[in-house]
Amino acid sequence: MLLSSLVAQASPLSEQQVKQLQGLVSQLNPIQQAWVSGYLAASAQLAGQSVAVAPSAVAAPAATLTVLYGSQTGNAKHVAEDLGKAASGKGFTVKVQDLAEYKAANLKNERFLVIVTSTYGEGEPPENAISFYNFLFSKKAPQLPELRYAVLGLGDTSYEFFCKTAQDFDQRLAELGGKAIIARADLDVDYGTAAANWQQQLITTLEPEFAQAPASTADVISWPGVSQTAAAQSSYSKQQPFSAELYTNQKITGRDSSKDVRHIEISLAGSGLRYQPGDALGVYFSNDPQLVKELLLLTGIAANTPVLLGTERLTISDALTEQLELTQSYPAFVDKYAKASGSEVLQALVADKTALRSYLSERQIIDIVREHPALISAQQLVDALRKQQPRLYSIASSQAEVEDEVHLTVGVVRYQAYGKPHLGGASGFLAERLAEGGSIKVFVETNNNFRLPENDDTPVIMIGPGTGIAPFRAFLQERDARAASGKNWLFFGNPHFTQDFLYQVELQNYLKQGLLTRLDVAFSRDTAEKVYVQHKLLKHGAEVWQWLEQGAHLYICGDGARMAKDVHQALLTIVQQQGGKDEKAAQQYLDQLRIAKRYQKDVY
Amino acid sequence: MSQYPVNPEFVAPGKLSDNERLKAESDHLRGTITSDLQNEITGGFTGDNFMLIRFHGMYQQDDRDIRAERAAQKLEPLHNVMLRARMPGGIITPTQWLAIDKFAAEHTLYGSIRLTTRQTFQFHGVLKPNIKPIHQLLNSIGIDSIATAGDVNRNVLCTSNPVESELHQQAYQWAIKISEHLLPKTRAYAEIWLDGEKVETTETEPVLGDTYLPRKFKTTVVIPPHNDVDVHANDLNFVAIAEHGKLIGFNVLVGGGLAMTFGDTSTYPRRAEELGFISLEHVLKVAEHVVTVQRDYGDRVNRKNAKTKYTIDRIGVDNFRSEVEKRVGVAFEPVRPYAFTSRGDRFGWVEGIDGKHHLTLFIENGRVLDFPGKPLKTGLAEIAKIHQGDLRMTANQNLIIAGVPLEQKAQIEQLARQYGLLDDNHSEQRKNSMACVSFPTCPLAMAEAERYLPELVTKVEGLLSKNGVADDHIVLRVTGCPNGCGRAMLAEVGLVGRAPGKYNVYLGGNKVGTRIPKLFLDNVAEAEILAQLDQLIGRWATERQAGEDFGDFVIRSGVVAEVKVSKTDFHA
């Protein structure tokens, strides 16, 4: 509704208020208007909460449902928040909290506990769940005979240790005496419907318990660490992404680089979307029309064949292009496609989990179909594929500098395999198929576990090789804009100095201007012996230790499979050598840093 | 400052240029180069070091073809250095050649060896991590790059004359001695590049002075009647005078130089002029004191007027001569008769009086590289593997396989033909055309030179052929900027780059390189150049006197006025 057409009768405002509002708004530009709308929405929500929380505080013995999440990419967090909303809608008193924020000492007082968690890498807990996980598996963990709990795992079946952390939590809570409210569910990438069902089942099961408790109007209680910012200020979200304009797509590796990395600038103008350094941008994309064409050719399906996707009716071509996952392969596809196509080879493969994993690790969906083309029906194909999941990119800009833009640093997935060129889904879309000026659906994914220190005087050490540099560009822009006096030390690495020094000129300028106190680089392929960021850390171990002792915050972004582990190992060595600690004490030192939020990771 | 009395009237007044501060503060050319070498954030050199590395034989350059592209990529320019070796007289052994051949292939961006008009070779595209290794490699094979650039006496040229082998050998030895006598004495080169020990000494530069020379300084030893070194492009020239095949002394010529600045009429190309004859025992002293006089009287205020040629025009050649004589303690004798009759290289086989055979190869643009269908670089390496004599780089950017015994002639020739080093189809026009390096590496380049020359020559060949003079040639030179590397200002037709695709055209130099050409076309593109040349070549073909060269014809027929005295005539 436009304000000009706003009349008192149609709104809860008085005529006088409408006039005042119109007067104010006429002085605002669209960005200011968006900000004001977000501001008002946020204050309304906060006001509502304070009203809601107050009565629950007096109703002392009310049963509380504690929902904790261990989240790497924000999915578990969203599911936990949804669950919180649904439960409070039923009148439950609910507390939703990041596992990193949760005081483990409270565990023994919990009666109803839900943990929603993803699993990271080779079966490890996500970064924000590590402390709690370690506590739970330590001797300090209390017996929990009173506890009733439920665990929901989110994962990806293409990984060997699918939902391992959820399984660990489930098993351990049972060991400690807890009783499951409902059975744990381990959900794949397209968890949407299954998560809703599990949530429904949980609430239904708990309803009698909570009905006995005094009636409460409690809403979800806001706890520290649960950010409202992004959600509160904009109506756009993962479910309702904003159609943004691509401003810039600039390759930032040299012409002889083996890597294709793009600096992407996207306009958020008019969206009201706000983000903080450390947040990620979720990106939806269209699949490559050539890929869709080939897939339809191989399966003998006409492009305009109608199919049913959930409740939506559309052509298969549209479904494949806009809605389904066509690049990342996963076990469920092989299973369903094997059945639909009748391929015995694939069926045999499905039975052998290890073989299936290694088969999938090198193949996109199209490779599987190319190897086993079969005439199947359009609906069979659609049913075999899962819904496209948005890709998350760490944001490479600060709004203090770029205002209503958002910048990304995107490594284009491009390789030759089985005699054909391959391109990543989102990165291919951003780099090749989306023209500048074209539109792309995006949303902001808050990440409170990757934040600059609140105190601007605090020194920071940033370790971000490859595209891991992205959030640190945001950090530096932010520290620059805030005129933060804290020292900044960046470690960067990539294969070649001349080709792969991402944002080289910007970083050189930051060094010259003094914003960057130190910049250490490792170009692994320029020397006979490969040098990586961890080697540079070790080389300057004494200074790293000095910075840490001065209170520096430590950040790692980038490859989690190897780099983050190697860097962690290097840090352990530094703490041992420089701090004169044994291995255990060094580990504890780093654990303490993590608990104090001074050691944060954004790894993938 | 000088150890000699300096006449203040001959010193250019004013505030010293920033380069003078830079040299004075450099701690005898050290600066902070060592710390720049350890800086991993940039491939370039910072502050004064950018200039100081020149004194060590290197220029910071970048690939200009991709400069804009890299700026958009948020990458700094592709900084690298060009390294120019010090090779007095241009003689290099096969062993040395094979070592530089390997380095060029493995550690430079362009993979080439570039033979230059300074009778030496250059590596183009050496990245910072490879700089120390190349100096150390060169040192291990007895080569350095000291003072091949910067405000010092640069690589000393010597006529490539394989025929009169004894005379050449004597002249060549003088080129080496002069080069060494005029070298900087600072240990900076050894310390920085060769990890030489730092010795606590109070260093002085008795010849060059602690602030070195006002500007670059170029020296030649020339054996008439061949003027391959282009004496008039050089500050100091020793013209060999022989009696019965034995060297007895030199005529000394000073004040040549070709550089100028567009739009600044106080700058101009200028011929060298004669100081007189000296006998052999005074050679080093004379060389030293031509340098010290220029050191003390050269303009240190305005670098554009700092070269010896301007010093002489400012204080007068007689004053210059008497200052030198005072310092040497010997008077110049009258110039002995000599004449130049040729300038280009003698391609193909010649037999020396020592009975050895010498093969001069035409290397287009001096660029030794494996071209499609013409693997020149591999071919030279193959020859170097079996060759028993030496290799001689000429001041015309060509190469002589020198000292081949009769029994190996056929094998060497076979290899040369196999790898495209000997090509009977090259026209005289092509063999007498020359260009500097220019784009993409030279930071001074305003227009293409090396990359443009081959097609320009083809077009000029067409014009000669069209006008019925296909067997004749015109000394044609293209240089990418007015700084003179391509020696266009001693050509019959000289093109000097103004902007991409645009050149100034100068006409009227002569075949032997004793006349400065004059501006004919200002800032024009190829079509205009070719149209005008077509017309002029047509006139030359029909109107010329017997045996009259193109450069002489355009003067006689009044197309351009003759430049007799550069200071007054060149811009007139």
User: For A379-426, how does the pLDDT look when each residue is reduced to its tens digit (9 = 90+)?
Assistant: 999 999 999 999 999 999 999 999 999 999 999 999 999 999 999 999
**Residues of B catalogued as catalytic:** 84, 154, 216, 218, 436, 442, 481, 485
CB atoms within 10 A of CB A527: 10
* Residue range B32-43: mean pLDDT, rounded: 97
Of residues A30 and B289, the one with the higher pLDDT is B289
CA distance A82 to chain B (A): 42
B127 touches chain A (CB under 8 A): yes
- CB contact (8 A) between residue B73 and residue A511: no
- CB contact (8 A) between residue A508 and residue B43: no
Residues near B207 by beta carbon (within 8 Å), at least 6 away in sequence: B181, B182, B185, B288, B291, B292, B295
Where b means 16+ CB within 10 Å and e means fewer, A435-450 reads eeeeebbbbbbbbbbb
Phi and psi at A402, nearest 5°, equal: -100, 0
Amino acid present at B392: R
Lowest mean pLDDT among A181-190, A246-255, B27-36, B464-473: A181-190
Q: What is the pLDDT of residue A52?
A: 39
A 232-251 residues inside an 8 A Cβ radius of B: 250-251
Tell whether the model's pLDDT for residue A220 goes beyond 70: no
User: For B114-162, how does the pLDDT look when each residue is reduced to its tens digit (9 = 90+)?
Assistant: 999 999 999 999 999 999 999 999 999 999 999 999 999 999 999 998 8
Residues near B407 by beta carbon (within 8 Å), at least 6 away in sequence: none
Q: Which of A60-64, A90-94, A527-531 has the highest mean pLDDT?
A: A527-531
Q: What is the pLDDT of residue A45?
A: 53
Q: What is the pLDDT of residue A15?
A: 67
Of residues A448 and A51, the one with the higher pLDDT is A448
* Residue range B551-556: mean pLDDT, rounded: 98
Compute, in degrees rounded to 10, the torsion defined by CA atoms B63, B69, B75, B80.
0
CA B526 to mean position of chain CA atoms: 26
Where b means 16+ CB within 10 Å and e means fewer, B291-305 reads bbbbbbbbbbeebeb
Tell whether the model's pLDDT for residue A99 goes beyond 70: yes
A507 touches chain B (CB under 8 A): yes
Query: What is the DSSP-derived secondary structure letter of residue A320?
Result: I
Where does the pLDDT of residue A160 fall: very low under 50, low under 70, confident under 90, or very high at 90 and above? confident
Interface confidence (ipTM) of the complex: 0.91
Q: Which of B378, B392, B382, B328 is nearest to B93 (CA)?
A: B392
Classify B137 as helix, strand or coil: helix
Q: What is the pLDDT of residue A123?
A: 86
Q: What is the pLDDT of residue B291?
A: 98
Lowest mean pLDDT among A18-27, A92-101, B546-555: A18-27
CB atoms within 10 A of CB A451: 18
User: For B176-191, how does the pLDDT look when each residue is reduced to its tens digit (9 = 90+)?
Assistant: 999 999 999 999 999 9
Q: What is the reported pTM? A: 0.85
Residues near A223 by beta carbon (within 8 Å), at least 6 away in sequence: A95, A96, A97, A101
Query: What is the DSSP-derived secondary structure letter of residue B335?
Result: P
- CB contact (8 A) between residue A505 and residue B71: yes
Q: Would you say the C-alpha torsion A421, A425, A426, A432 has a positive or negative sign?
A: positive
A458 close to A428: Cβ distance less than 8 angstroms: no
State the Cα–Cα distance between residues B475 and B556, nearest whole angstrom: 17
Strand B374-375 versus strand B370-371 pairing type: antiparallel
State the Cα–Cα distance between residues B112 and B102, nearest whole angstrom: 10
Where does the pLDDT of residue A91 fall: very low under 50, low under 70, confident under 90, or very high at 90 and above? confident
- CB contact (8 A) between residue B41 and residue A526: no
Average pLDDT of chain B is 96
- CB contact (8 A) between residue B74 and residue A263: yes
Residues of A in contact with B69 (CB under 8 A): 255
Residue A318 is inside which H or E element, if any? helix A316-318
* Residue range A171-192: mean pLDDT, rounded: 92
Q: Which of B5, B29, B30 is nearest to B152 (CA)?
A: B29
- CB contact (8 A) between residue A263 and residue B78: no
Q: Using CB atoms, which residue from B41, B73, B74 is nearest to A511?
A: B41
B90 close to B172: Cβ distance less than 8 angstroms: no
CA distance A579 to chain B (A): 28
Mutate to test the interface with A, among B39, B41, B128, B130 (most CBs of A within 10 A): B41
* Residue range B187-214: mean pLDDT, rounded: 90
Residues of B in contact with A249 (CB under 8 A): none
B523 close to B502: Cβ distance less than 8 angstroms: yes
Residues near A27 by beta carbon (within 8 Å), at least 6 away in sequence: none
User: For A273-296, how does the pLDDT look when each residue is reduced to its tens digit (9 = 90+)?
Assistant: 999 999 999 999 999 999 999 999
State the Cα–Cα distance between residues B568 and B229, nearest whole angstrom: 26
Residues near A503 by beta carbon (within 8 Å), at least 6 away in sequence: A252, A263, A409, A469, A473, B74
A546 close to A476: Cβ distance less than 8 angstroms: no
Q: What is the pLDDT of residue B3?
A: 87
Classify A435 as helix, strand or coil: coil
Q: Would you say the C-alpha torsion B10, B15, B16, B21 has a positive or negative sign?
A: positive
Residues of A in contact with B40 (CB under 8 A): 497, 520-521, 523
Q: Which of B161, B171, B179 is nearest to B280 (CA)?
A: B171
Residues near B311 by beta carbon (within 8 Å), at least 6 away in sequence: B255, B293, B294, B297, B298, B299, B320
- Residue located via tokens 């565990």: A107
Q: What is the pLDDT of residue A58?
A: 39
State the Cα–Cα distance between residues A432 and A434, nearest whole angstrom: 6
Q: What is the pLDDT of residue A25?
A: 67
Q: Using CB atoms, which residue from B73, B78, B129 is nearest to A526?
A: B129
Amino acid present at B181: H
Residues of B in contact with A506 (CB under 8 A): 74
- Beta pairing partners, B59: B82
Q: Using CB atoms, which residue from B42, B73, B129 is nearest to A254?
A: B73
Q: Would you say the C-alpha torsion A528, A530, A536, A542 has a positive or negative sign?
A: negative
Q: What is the pLDDT of residue B327?
A: 97
Residues of A in contact with B66 (CB under 8 A): 254-255
B55 close to B150: Cβ distance less than 8 angstroms: yes
Phi and psi at A565, nearest 5°, equal: -70, -45
Give the strand order in the sheet containing B357-361. B91-92, B390-393, B399-404, B357-361, B348-351
B256 close to B231: Cβ distance less than 8 angstroms: yes
Residues near B433 by beta carbon (within 8 Å), at least 6 away in sequence: B453, B456, B457, B460, B475, B476, B477, B478
User: For B101-123, how does the pLDDT look when each residue is reduced to its tens digit (9 = 90+)?
Assistant: 999 999 999 999 999 999 999 99
Q: What is the pLDDT of residue A22?
A: 67
Residues near A266 by beta carbon (within 8 Å), at least 6 away in sequence: A244, A245, A246, A247, A281, A405, A406, A407, A408, A440, A442
Q: What is the pLDDT of residue A312?
A: 94
State the Cα–Cα distance between residues A479 and A276, nearest whole angstrom: 12
Q: Which of A324, A445, A332, A360 is nearest to A394 (CA)?
A: A445
- Closest chain B residue to A252 measured between Cα atoms? B73
CB atoms within 10 A of CB A586: 20
User: For A316-370, how does the pLDDT look when each residue is reduced to its tens digit (9 = 90+)?
Assistant: 999 999 999 999 999 999 999 999 999 999 999 999 989 999 999 889 999 999 9
Q: What is the pLDDT of residue B269?
A: 98
- CB contact (8 A) between residue A263 and residue B70: no
CA A569 to mean position of chain CA atoms: 25
* Residue range A462-484: mean pLDDT, rounded: 98
Q: What percentage of chain A carries pLDDT values higher than 70?
A: 86
State the Cα–Cα distance between residues B293 and A111, nearest whole angstrom: 98
CA A576 to mean position of chain CA atoms: 33
User: For B291-300, how does the pLDDT look when each residue is reduced to its tens digit (9 = 90+)?
Assistant: 999 999 999 9
Quick one: residue B184, left, alpha or beta (phi over 0 = left, psi -120 to 50 = alpha)?
Answer: beta
Mutate to test the interface with A, among B37, B75, B76, B81 (most CBs of A within 10 A): B75
Strands, E, within A126-241: which ranges? 148-154, 179-180, 185-187, 220-221
Q: What is the pLDDT of residue A9?
A: 45
Q: What is the pLDDT of residue A30?
A: 58
State the Cα–Cα distance between residues A397 and A248, nearest whole angstrom: 14
Tell whether the model's pLDDT for residue A46 goes beyond 90: no
- CB contact (8 A) between residue B73 and residue A519: no
Asked if residue B372 has a cis previous peptide bond (ω within 30° of 0), the answer is no
* Residue range A229-241: mean pLDDT, rounded: 72
Tell whether the model's pLDDT for residue A26 goes beyond 70: no
Residues near A138 by beta carbon (within 8 Å), at least 6 away in sequence: none
Give the strand order in the sheet containing B236-243. B157-158, B219-222, B236-243, B246-254, B273-279
Phi and psi at A412, nearest 5°, equal: -80, 125
Classify A16 as helix, strand or coil: helix
State the Cα–Cα distance between residues B158 and B238, nearest whole angstrom: 9
Give the strand order in the sheet containing A405-411. A391-394, A280-283, A439-445, A242-251, A261-267, A405-411
User: For B236-256, how does the pLDDT look when each residue is reduced to its tens digit (9 = 90+)?
Assistant: 999 999 999 899 999 999 999
- The tokens describing A518, both together, are 């130190």
Q: What is the pLDDT of residue A139?
A: 83
Tell whether the model's pLDDT for residue A77 goes beyond 50: yes
User: For B391-431, how does the pLDDT look when each residue is reduced to its tens digit (9 = 90+)?
Assistant: 999 999 999 999 999 999 999 999 999 999 999 999 999 99
- CB contact (8 A) between residue B127 and residue A498: yes
* Residue range B39-61: mean pLDDT, rounded: 97
* Residue range A35-59: mean pLDDT, rounded: 49
Give the total residue count for chain B.
572
* Residue range B347-355: mean pLDDT, rounded: 93
